[in-house]
Amino acid sequence: MDIAALKAFMAVAETGSFSRAAEKNFLTQPAMSKRIATLEAELGTPLFDRIGRRIQLTEAGRTLLPHCKSILNELNDARRQLINLTGSVSGPLTMATSHHIGLHRLPPALARFHEQYQQVSLDIRFMDSESACQAVAEGEFELAVVTLPSDPPEHLLLKKLWDDPLEIVVGAQHPLAKQGRVSPNNLVAYPAILPGPGTFTREKVLSALGPHRHQITISMETNYLEVLKMLASIGLGWTALPHTMIDDDLIVVEAEGMTIHRELGIVRHAARTLSNAAQAMIEVIGQPQ
């Protein structure tokens, strides 16, 4: 099977659109459609159902998809190994990070990396930590700098870089601001503003509440910590934020017996070869700031 056709199939499967897949691969839509048609003819079966403007994988397409991912990942791995033999730190490096880390932790390291390795074409994708870990697991990125999962799958390697303790905070006009120290039972009597379901940070907060986690009322949800900070600062509820984000607009509330702690760091795939650029990035990020 032609590698270009497999890449085209993967792009259409991921985007759900021939036009978006063509744009992503710098092709015209007819060229993208031709590659898919050639692959379907070679395999003797349709890979997509085309219903109006909707594109869906057929059963054959769903069967091919994981094999296609594996083939392309192996090809990329081989390419990285060959490039690594030259010893040069150059070429593309695609990595992911969370918005919070990208804003508050990475800028000094990225500035040093760009100064030292100007031949590297850096592509940074900003997303939730959970999505970034999944993308690394699927071979989409070489590495991610994110909130580390508490129970990672075996095929992911984690390297802790920073401890990130969180504090319960409210706005100055919130009733809890005047209490200073509260019990978890008292805390959950007021609405909370937290990241969405399934996020590592939300689970850290709920776990810290212990048996009171089921009594909590969550009035709003957002995965952007900067938005959580704003909503809490104007009195819409309590939330948990890293020390690095707490300023005069927020009041820290001491919750008895509650300790909320995240670890931030690098996630990579255990079975995949890192490019020289990725190895250099890990080294630069790990340097003292």
CA–CA separation, 97 and 125 (whole Å):
6
Residues of the chain with CATH 3.40.190.10: 86-161+264-286, 163-262
CA–CA separation, 4 and 46 (whole Å):
18
pLDDT band at 227 (very low <50, low <70, confident <90, very high): very high
What is the CATH T-level fold of the domain 163-262, as seen in this structure?
A: D-Maltodextrin-Binding Protein; domain 2 (3.40.190)
Tell me, what's the pLDDT at 80? 80
Overall pTM surpassing 0.85 (yes/no)? no
User: Which residue reads 């850096």 in tokens?
Assistant: 122
Tell me, what's the pLDDT at 47? 94
Tell me, what's the pLDDT at 204? 94
Across the range 207-225, mean pLDDT stands at 94
Task: Please state the three-class secondary structure of 12-25 as a single string.
Answer: HHHHCCHHHHHHHC
pLDDT (tens digit, 9 = 90+) per residue, 54-64?
Answer: 889 999 999 99
Pick the CATH number of 3-83 from 3.40.50.620, 1.10.10.10, 2.60.40.10, 3.40.50.1360: 1.10.10.10
Query: What are the C-alpha distances in Å from 10 to residues 76, 85, 256?
Result: 14, 28, 51
CATH class of 86-161+264-286: alpha beta
CA dihedral (17, 18, 24, 28) in degrees, to 10, reads -150
Nearest to 132 by CA among 107, 156, 114, 104: 156
Q: How far is CA 187 from the centre of its chain?
A: 30
Asked if residue 262 has pLDDT above 90, the reply is yes
CA–CA separation, 240 and 232 (whole Å):
9
Tell me, what's the pLDDT at 107? 95
